[in-house]
Amino acid sequence: MKSIAVYCGSSLGASEIYKEQAILLGKFLAQEKITLIYGGASVGIMGTIADAILKEGGSVIGVIPTFLEQREIAHKDLTELICVDTMHERKAKMMELADGFIALPGGPGTLEEFFEVFTWNQIGLLQKPCGILNINGYYNKLIELFDHMVAEKFLQERSRNVFYVDDNYESLFSKMRTYEPPAIKTY
């Protein structure tokens, strides 16, 4: 993997642990010479991970819609900042540029982006690994919901396993590196 898209909060969260882990992941990406693709903001966990990589001399590409450029406070010191017209274009561009996708703790924006790569993998529109970095058990309830979907037969077991989950970024990466495109969902 030469590049990875990280979806994460434009807020910092209630506990320092989110920021601390984002910094460690940023250092790891810089050491591994993996380019970060992200939403281009200088605030929240988004800004934290970008800063951590830049501080280590790594490479960061931000993709931001023009109308959010001011509101989200676009990061001014990125390796590259790509401005697009719409939120849809932002996601498409990030999907095109990244070799894989990770969701860190975040709010609805993070989930919306993660769900797109998950569901596109499920129906075969995308064939790149995606994972959840479950810092501080933040996503436990979401993972329970996925198990409930499987139990209630609204999610196939094999689709449930399209994405990886780990609370440690190095083991999450090891899993993602073994990715093989899933069998396309049948009905």
Give me the least distance between CB of 68 and ligand AMP, in Å please.
6
Question: How far apart are the C-alpha atoms of 79 and 185, rounded to whole Å?
Answer: 38
Query: Does the protein bind ligand AMP through residue 90 (CB under 6 A)?
Result: yes
The verdict on 10 binding ligand AMP (CB under 6 A) reads yes
- Of the candidate residues 20, 107, 115, 171, the single one contacting ligand AMP (CB under 6 A): 107
Question: Taking CB under 6 A as the rule, does residue 115 contact ligand AMP?
Answer: no
Per CB under 6 A, does 109 bind ligand AMP? Answer: yes
Q: According to the binding rule CB under 6 A, does residue 132 interact with ligand AMP?
A: no
Which positions from 58 to 77 touch ligand AMP by CB under 6 A, shown as an x/- string? ----------x---x-----
How open is the CA angle 85-86-92, to the nearest 5 degrees? 105
In terms of DSSP H, where are the helices of 43-124? 44-55, 66-69, 87-97, 108-122
Instruction: Collapse the DSSP code of 6 into the 3-class scheme (helix H, G, I; strand E, B; otherwise coil) and give the result.
Output: strand
Residues 6+ apart with CB under 8 A from 140: 134
83 binds ligand AMP (CB under 6 A): no
